Amino acid sequence: MILVILGTQDKEFPRLLEAVEHEIDKGVIKDEVIVQAGQTKYESSKMKIFDLLPAPEFEKKEVRQALNYAIDRRIARYEDFGLNPGHRLIRNSPDDRWMIWKRLNKDRHFNIEMCALTLRSCAEERTGRQAAPDFSPEEIKQTFTRYNGTVPQINAYAEKAYQYYQYYQEQTAKQL
């Protein structure tokens, strides 16, 4: 399965979907394609397309909120990420969004750390606990689902992500 996420921008982005559909037509892409289309209006019988949640709902678990989550729980400090300790990140601030976006795209280490913090925040929201080694398979899937949104269509993605997680766990256990 391939998940295409067009994001929360208020602009349409059909070129990406046209390119993906072209690759399906050529036979390059053979997997099921699920599209979270956002504001993009596009119809295709070759992809499963669903709208994005309204921006305020979708943004519940994005990087700025995950950072604030980590700061509030004393997991990290803004300084740990090279950010101004006197400035709390604001969810609806275009300046904060742009600053984080640039950082995510330029700094791989920061990007990975933010992914981990976001998953940890999602885990607590879904289970009432932070990421723990004793999570049930269902709790892990709930965390993966929440990481990517709250619409039912994303559950298939969580199932696939869980398969990768299991494989990773098995490979890690073999190396120990």
Q: Would you state the pLDDT for residue 36?
A: 78
- Residues 15-35 as b or e (16 or more Cβ within 10 Å = b): eebeebbeebeeeebeeebbb
* CA–CA dist 116, 55 (Å, integer): 22
pLDDT digits (tens, 9 = 90+) for 92-128: 778 887 888 788 878 888 888 888 888 888 888 888 8
Statement: residue 61 has pLDDT above 60: no
How many angstroms separate the CA atoms of 64 and 172, rounded? 31
φ, ψ (nearest 5 deg) of residue 123: -60, -45
Using pLDDT thresholds of 50, 70 and 90, give the confidence band for residue 28: very high
pTM value > 0.75: no
Res 152: pLDDT: 66
Weakest mean pLDDT among 98-102, 117-121, 149-153, 154-158: 149-153
H helices present in the chain, as ranges = 14-26, 55-58, 63-72, 94-106, 108-127, 137-148, 155-175
